[in-house]
Structure 1
Amino acid sequence: MRARRPRWVAPVVVGLTLSLAGSLAACGSQLDPDTVRAANGGGAGVAGDGRLGGDAGAAGTTGTTGDSGAAVGDAGGGAAGAAGPAGGGTTGSGTGGTSRGGSAAAGEDPPPVAAPKGVSCDGFKNGPGITDKTITLANVSDLSGPVPGLFQPAYDGAKAFISYFNATSDICGRKLQLQSYDSRTDAGGDQQGYAKACDSAFAAVGSMSAFDSGGAQTAQSCGLPDIRAAAVTAARAACSTCYGASSVNAATFENAVPDYVLKNYKAAGQKAAMIYLNAGAAAENGKGQVNAMTRRGMKFVYVQGVDVSEFNYAPFVQKLKEKGARYVQALGSYQHGVKLAQAMQQAGYKPDLFMMDVVAYDPGFVQSGGSAVEGTTAFINFVPFEQAGSNNEMGLYLKYLQQVSPGAKPNFFGVFGWSAARLFVTEAVSLGGRLSRQTLLDKVRGVDKWTANGMHAPQYVGSKQTADCWRFLQLSKGRWVPRTNGYLCNGVSSSK
């Protein structure tokens, strides 16, 4: 029987608590279908079997050093990674160049990934999803359902990377093909998509579903490497062949958030409030984040869930005023944040700090919120799109996204869809003729502090632990302005 799906779907993630567990959890909120449809430009066309036609395809991977803030690139045509934050203490690693060797000509994009020295294609064998000319990958994401196009950006991100890869490289003479399956925003659709992927693809990359528990056992049973944008359910996290480019453990939350508040708004941190959507992951994570931030030294005077169908936020704002809350955090969709901000403005109430996670870092939040959301602070775990010029990888993502999906808006899910595809290529190229589903999984299990060439904060892919780095932006005159010099990486606290 197909799992029932709610009328409102949580975009998960980022609520997952970006902490992804911070972000994802935070993001585990419900979205208004009409609003999301407009933001994403409508839904995608889907074949009767849930399969979308399409084929697609990174720049040299490099390390970033947080201690000195200097970026170090490897030889072979790879692009230098973004500089790490001064004193951040985080380290990324990787290789630069191309799977065919050589370097990019002037004016050309640098080739994606170089095979490590000594790696040979001798002994390469075809198998599931692999022919003499192609390696087929699958992406199973929510493209239709209550929120049409919900995770289209994750598919577009993976497709953009594969387009880039195919333009510059190959894996032992084989180009990549990306086959898309629509998980339809329900567990049954996710399971059906992965059943098809098991038979037709070598691996899955960049997938994203609000109900990703459906295909977890299917992927594990057939031994399919599933390198996702992120995992949002306990069942997917437990899958032994499933890994997220955005790593998360919902039982923890990043210390960077409360530490930022206590350092810059100490008094407000002692009179804090959390307003979360009372549904799905947001309900659990709202309370969990309060627990974690309290352990870190904040004090909450008001914690309240708001039903998805609630349109009158005035009573909640009145409570904020009565309790004397000076710090207010909204956990849910950006539409939920806009409603709260508008109610606060109408009541003439302005906290010292209004905080949201990465869901606020969206053109829709700024456009629909107007003056009410001015001054909002948001925490994100990737290079801001406004700073793409400082990171070659982010620049490549934005460039190829427009090539494969003209007019598409970049977002969190797209960043990690691209990152997941790059991670696959990096590990596949390093195996050469030894590439198989099992050897790929063995490699991915050892991936630590993955940054996709400095595109995002280090992620603990192999261990599936919550990544602890955030950077903070504040909305000023309709533009997002950095409030921290790079990332704050301060470990995590239990949210239980």
Structure 2
Amino acid sequence: MTPFHRLTLVSGAAVLALTAAGCGGSALDPKTAVRANAALHGNAQGTTSTVSAPGPVVSAPTSTQGPKSTVPGGLLPVAEHPGQTKTNDQGSGLNPSAPACTALAKQTGITDTTVTIANASDITGPVPGIFNSAQQATRAFAAYFNAHSSLCGRKLQVLDLDTRTDAGGDQRAYVTACDKAFAAVGSMSAFDSGGAATADQCGLPDIRSQSVSDTRNDCRTCFGAQATELHAFQNAIPDFLVSRHGAAAKKSAIIYVREAAAVETAKYTKLAEEKRGMKFVYDTTFDVAEFNYAPYVQAMKDKGVRLVQFIGSSDQAVRMAQAMQTYQFKPDVFVQDATAYNQSFLKTGGSAVEGAYIYVNFLPFEAAGGNQEMKLYRAWLQQVAPGAVPSYFGLYAWSAARLFTEQAQALGSNLTRANLVRRIRAVSLWTDHGLHAPQPVGPKKNSSCWRFLRAHDGRWVTIGNDYICHGSTVIR
């Protein structure tokens, strides 16, 4: 068993690699796996590529709604939609005086007193509780919402469903959701292709934490609060590295765990980043059970590597960093994705991880004091799950629940599954009141906006207050 279950923040690569490591669960085709990794890494799938022109750095200060932008195709930012509520003293975007909606028709999941939403996430399976944070966050938002507002005079009721880290489990959960819930909200599954057709066929609005497969993205009623364009790589990541560490970027190494998902991820990461000016002089895998990292360190020293890009769990990244320190190899840059965004990485890595970079597409948790929505997420998470740690997947599940209620409230007596789906399709530049980078939820396109953090003296330090938004490299 790999150490992935100890991660606070789990990347697509780590989630999907665990099933290939002899831990059980469903088999996953490598091509599907790499597309799933795009949900966090921004990686793409294919053989040829087109590079979009780099855009400007878009200012998104910690305490604001996020970048302003013009949306193509007539789509409106959610803040401009009729019925959008304003921030009030009780919290961002709630409307405590919502109409009673006495004309609201009874329908699946709606009674005279409640609106049932289902959360279908991986709770059991090879790594128990792997997406428990998504379910906790959905329940936390429902508790917050019920304390301050209502939906057509009705309170939210959350139906917890377990997708069991398995495509079949996902399908069974969505059969139940179709029969018993008005909508599915905040769901997160590593094998989300299973229930996609079921949700589509029954017309179930499925506003997820994120989608990780082409099948889910093709579902006409399914959307991610973190929108994912599974064939595009955000240019902000290599552009940041090249702009800050140009010489080092010309002598890069990419090191990744030898599992189908990570291998495919690394392949397309390298392809996209080379088109943005990076050059890789060392490319290698390591076994999931590997503990001797000395040979990799020596090889990097021999090749003059100055930038190390790592794809694996945070525990594995710590072991690599410790080996580099032991053998006196200090590259200019050691970088990985949000997998490392947890206190365990900093505590166990100590001085070995000093200066390490990570990239995220949401407001850092340390910034709770500057954003009301982050305060609410953290506070209400403790109300429903004392001691729970906020996470990447939980944050986007909270965002999905917020998006659901704002759009449902705006429909009033016209609330139906079909009307809600039509409304979600028109949502773009969704930030959940500054909680994360702007997400084109309806169009299902990458936001292409990332921000960077660096380990310093045992804590994560943000580099600037802005997202970097440079478009995407599309690989078809």
Local SS of the residue matching 2:192: coil
Alpha-carbon separation, structure 1, partners of 2:69 and 2:275: 22
SS in 1 for 2:128: coil
Which residue in 1 is equivalent to 2:160? 180
Residue 332 of structure 1 deviates from its aligned partner by 2.3
Alpha-carbon distance in structure 1 between the residues aligned to 2:271 and 2:142: 41
1:21 to partner: Cα distance: 4.6
Give the structure 2 partner of residue 228 of structure 1: 208
380, 397, 413: which one aligns with 2:377? 397
> Which has the larger displacement, 327-336 or 221-230?
327-336
1:375 corresponds to which residue?
355
SS of equivalent residue, structure 2 residue 184: strand
1:394 CA drift (Å): 0.6
Question: Following the alignment from structure 2 to structure 1, what is the Cα–Cα distance between the partners of residues 81 and 345?
Answer: 37
Judge conservation of contact 2:252–2:306 (CA < 8 Å) in 1: yes
Shift of 1:485: 2.8
Instruction: Report the CA distance shift for 1:244/1:112 in structure 2 as closer, same or farther (over 3 A).
Output: same
Q: Which residue of 2 aligns with 1:460?
A: 440
Q: Which has the higher contact order (CA 8 A, sep 6+)?
A: 2
Contact 1:21 1:249 in 2 (8 A): no
Residues 83 and 410, structure 2, Cα contact 8 Å, conserved in 1: no
Once the 2 structures are TM-superposed, how far is the Cα of residue 315 of structure 1 from its aligned partner? 1.9
Mark the CA change 1:101 to 1:445 in structure 2 (over 3 Å): closer, same or farther: closer
Q: 1:92 to 1:312 in 2, by over 3 A?
A: farther
Distance in 2 of aligned mates of 1:138 and 1:441: 16
Indicate whether 1:282 and 2:262 are aligned.
yes
Of 116, 123, 127, which residue of structure 2 is paired with 1:136? 116
Deviation at 1:220, TM superposition (A): 1.3
The answer to whether structure 1 residue 195 and structure 2 residue 214 are counterparts is no
**Cα distance in 2 between the residues matched to 1:223 and 1:282:** 34
Structure 1 counterpart of 2:79: 94
C-alpha contact (below 8 Å) 2:311/2:337 kept by paired residues: yes
- Size of the aligned set, in residue pairs, is 439
d(CA) in 2 for partners of 1:97 and 1:161? Answer: 23
Q: Secondary structure at the match of 2:451?
A: strand
2:284 corresponds to which residue?
Answer: 304
2:421 aligns to what SS in structure 1? helix
Give the Å deviation of 1:312.
Answer: 2.3
Matches within 5 A, 1:191-340: 191-340=171-320
Counterparts of 1:111 and 1:248, CA distance in 2? 25
Q: 1:346 aligns with which of 309, 322, 326?
A: 326
Aligned partner (choices 28, 39, 47) of residue 20 of structure 1 = 39
Residue 194 of structure 1 deviates from its aligned partner by 0.9
Q: For residues 37 and 95 of structure 2, what CA distance do their matches in structure 1 show?
A: 31
- Aligned partner of 2:423 in structure 1 is 443
Gaps of 5+ in 1: 26-65, 72-80
SS at match of 2:39: coil
Which residue number in structure 2 is paired with residue 150 of structure 1? 130
Report the CA distance between 1:188 and its aligned residue: 1.4
Q: Secondary structure at the match of 1:94?
A: helix
Q: Which amino acid aligns with 2:180?
A: S
Per residue, is there more helix in 1 or in 2? 2
2:94 paired with 1:113: yes
Residues 421/306 of structure 1: CA separation in 2 closer, same or farther (3 Å cut): same
Distance of aligned partners of 1:338 and 1:92 in 2 relative to their CA distance in 1, 3 Å threshold: farther
Letter in 2 for 1:441: V
Identity between Structure 1 and Structure 2 (%): 46
Following superposition, the deviation at residue 98 of structure 1 comes to 10
Question: In structure 2, do the counterparts of structure 1 residues 255 and 177 end up closer, same or farther at CA, with 3 Å as the change threshold?
Answer: same
- Asked whether 1:387 is paired with 2:406, we answer no
Q: Distance in 2 between matches of 1:68 and 1:153?
A: 29
Q: Secondary structure at the match of 1:371?
A: helix
- How far apart, CA to CA, are the structure 2 residues paired with 1:395 and 1:17? 30
Q: Distance in 2 between matches of 1:386 and 1:162?
A: 24
Tell whether the 8 Å contact from 1:19 to 1:466 is kept in structure 2 after alignment: no
How far 1:169 moved relative to its partner? 0.3
- Shift of the alpha carbon at 1:97? 13
The code of the aligned residue for 1:232 comes to V
Q: Which runs of 5+ in 2 are unaligned?
A: 1-17, 45-56
Residue 341 (structure 2) aligned to one of 339, 346, 361 = 361
The code of the aligned residue for 2:296 comes to: F
Counterparts of 1:426 and 1:114, CA distance in 2? 9
Once the two structures are superposed, residues 337-380 of structure 1 have per-residue CA deviations (whole angstroms, 9 ceiling, x without a partner) of 12221221222111100011111111221222222212111111
1:103 CA displacement = 5.2
Question: What is the distance in 2 between the residues matched to 1:308 and 1:264?
Answer: 31
Counterpart Cα distance in 1 of 2:255 and 2:343 = 22
Partner of 1:46: none
Post-superposition Cα deviations, 1:445-485, rounded to whole Å, max 9, x if no partner, equal: 11111101110000111111122111111000101111133
More displaced 10-residue stretch of structure 1: 252-261 or 339-348: 339-348
Aligned to 2:146: 166
Shift of 1:121: 2.8
- TM-score of the pair, normalised by structure 1: 0.81
2:388 and 2:94 map into 1 onto residues whose CA distance is 26
Alignment of 1:1-12 (within 5 A): 6=20, 7-8=22-23
Name the stretch that deviates more: 363-372 or 259-268. 363-372
1:272-306 deviation per Cα after TM superposition (whole angstroms, max 9, x unaligned): 11112232432222111111111111111112222
Q: Which amino acid aligns with 2:468?
A: L
Letter matched to residue 473 of structure 1: L
Q: CA deviation at 1:331?
A: 1.5
Deviates more, 1:278-287 or 1:174-183: 278-287
**Following the alignment from structure 2 to structure 1, what is the Cα–Cα distance between the partners of residues 475 and 345?**
27
Could you tell me how far 1:93 is from its partner in structure 2? 4.3
Distance 2:345 2:219 in 1: 34
Over residues 361-415 of structure 1, what are the superposed CA-to-partner deviations in whole Å (9 max), with x where a residue is unaligned?
1122122222221211111111111111111101110110111110001110110
- Specify the SS of the correspondent of 1:458: coil
Answer whether contact 1:132 1:174 (CA < 8 A) is retained: yes
After superposition, the Cα gap between the structure-2 partners of 1:88 and 1:426, relative to the gap in structure 1 and judged at 3 Å, is: closer
Is 2:464 the partner of 1:479?
A: no
**Aligned partner letter, 2:333:** L
**Displacement of 1:156:** 1.0
Say which SS state the counterpart of residue 293 (structure 1) adopts: helix
